[in-house]
Amino acid sequence: MVSDYVMVKYEYEIESEAYNWFNQQKAYLEILKKAEQEWGVDYVMVKYEYEEQVSAYEWLERNKDKNPEAFKRASKKWSNDYVMVKYEYEKEI
């Protein structure tokens, strides 16, 4: 029984922390909105998805000019799933 309480408390704390983080975000709001649509009120996963997508997006912004045609193809295929655009693009460059 004690371990159940410890887990409930742990889950509550990490979700509360992620929720507070979510409410403080001011950058890349479209990415945040997409992550929220995908994960709903699981703010730990919203935060994870957001951070992965932002990291890929920023990488793409720095590297998209290395092969513009490959970037266009990957973007057309995966749209605003920047993790997948990056994956596809990296395969070609």
For the whole model, what pTM was predicted?
0.90
Segment holding 90, helix H or strand E = helix 82-92
Over residues 7-62, the pLDDT tens digits come to 999 999 999 999 999 999 999 999 999 999 999 999 999 999 999 999 999 999 99
Range of the structural domain that residue 34 is part of:
2-92
Strands (E) located in the chain: none
Q: pLDDT band for position 93 (50/70/90)?
A: confident
Q: How many structural domains are present in the chain?
A: 1
Q: pLDDT band for position 2 (50/70/90)?
A: low
For residue 64, pLDDT beyond 90: yes
Torsion of CA 27, 31, 33, 38, to 10 degrees: -150
For residue 3, pLDDT beyond 80: no
Between CA 38 and CA 74 the distance in angstroms is 21
Task: Give the per-residue pLDDT at 1.
Answer: 55
